Amino acid sequence: MTKIFDGPDWRSGHLAVVLTADEDDSSAGNNVLTVVIHPSQNRNVVTSALTHYSLTRLYEEVAGVPYLFDAASAPSMTTAFGLLLK
């Protein structure tokens, strides 16, 4: 991570790191840890329900491509994290 944080894309704010730890316990209320690391984020904890489709939607919003399947109606991670796309 040190190399990433020292890089020009990170320092300019053009890079975010997404870390997901999905240890499915097969329960209906399974929670998945997802951390979005970006220079604009400072101890921002999101408690709204997000899904795997929300993560797909985030990637599609960043790439500027059409939404796939249920990502179109998934809650936006950019809204949840207050991220602004340029």
Round to whole Å and give the CA distance between 49 and 56.
15
The SS3 assignment for 24 reads coil
Dihedral sign for Cα 69, 70, 72, 78, please.
negative
pLDDT digits (tens, 9 = 90+) for 49-85: 888 899 899 889 888 999 999 999 998 888 777 776 6
Q: What is the pTM of this model?
A: 0.70
Residue 86, exposed/middle/buried by CB under 10 A (0-12, 13-18, 19+)? exposed
pLDDT digits (tens, 9 = 90+) for 16-56: 898 888 777 777 777 778 888 888 888 788 887 888 899 89
